[in-house]
Amino acid sequence: MKARWIHLSDRFNALADRERMLLSAMSVGVLLALFWLILIAPAMNRQAADLAQMRSLHGQLDGLAEQARLLEEARRNDPVVQKRAQIESLTQQNLALKAALSGKRALLADPKQMPTRLRDLLARQPGLELVSLRTLPVENLTARDDKANAAPTPASGQASPPGTAIYRHGLEIAVRGEYAAIARWLTAVEQFGWQVFWGQMDLQVEKYPVSVATVTIYTLSLDPAWLRL
């Protein structure tokens, strides 16, 4: 086995500089693809399911809020005990759904703390340096859904009660180092204890064995506030 390794090493060293660079770049590409298939892709599937569940909860909250508004309006015109009981039931369901939504929120990264935590993780990985870090515009996911499903305004002119909005906060971070150090840092981000959503990922060989990885990371929040870097 050792003799075979020495033979392969001699063959690699015998290649021209350009051939060694191409071979190294292809190796890095294969390693990145394996990392994506083994770690990132399954995580993105789980995250997509969580996002769908949060949107479903938000839709149910909006529906309950509209029912409560209609029942409250009917109560003012005809205060019947049965309608009061229905309002109370809807209120309890509303609270239960908000609790479920808050439970999901507890699993997500705090957008105001995410830049600091990413820097901390980077500092713990020897051989890596920060190239750039910038925030992306905040996106209101529920406003986009509400616009697509907008209903006509009631004749009374009264707007429907607003639901709890879900905001997507994004960061684009670029780091420089060898592939192994970059892979360790990405694994640490995935396993740090709070949930993030992976966006685009790009790896460029700068000067073998040093590469620059540019990654887009998102988190969801009920808070529109975003830390300005």
For 185-211, give the secondary structure using H, E and C.
HHHHHHCCCCECEEEEEEEEEEECCEE
68 versus 146: the higher-pLDDT residue is 68
If one compares 151 and 166, the residue with the highest pLDDT of the two is 166
Task: Give mean pLDDT, residues 154-166.
Answer: 47
Asked if the model's pLDDT at residue 164 lies above 90, the reply is no
Residue 225 has pLDDT above 80, yes or no: no
Least confident of 58-62, 120-124, 175-179, 202-206: 58-62
Please check whether residue 131 is in contact with residue 212, taking contact to mean a CB–CB distance below 8 angstroms: yes
**pLDDT value at residue 133:** 93
2-221 falls under which CATH superfamily?
Ribosomal protein S6/Translation elongation factor EF1B (3.30.70.60)
State the pTM of this model.
Answer: 0.55
Q: Where are the domains of the chain?
A: 2-221
Looking at residue 216, what is its pLDDT? 93
The residue among 58 and 188 whose pLDDT is bigger is 188
More confident residue, 34 or 213: 213
pLDDT bucket at 116, cuts 50 / 70 / 90:
confident
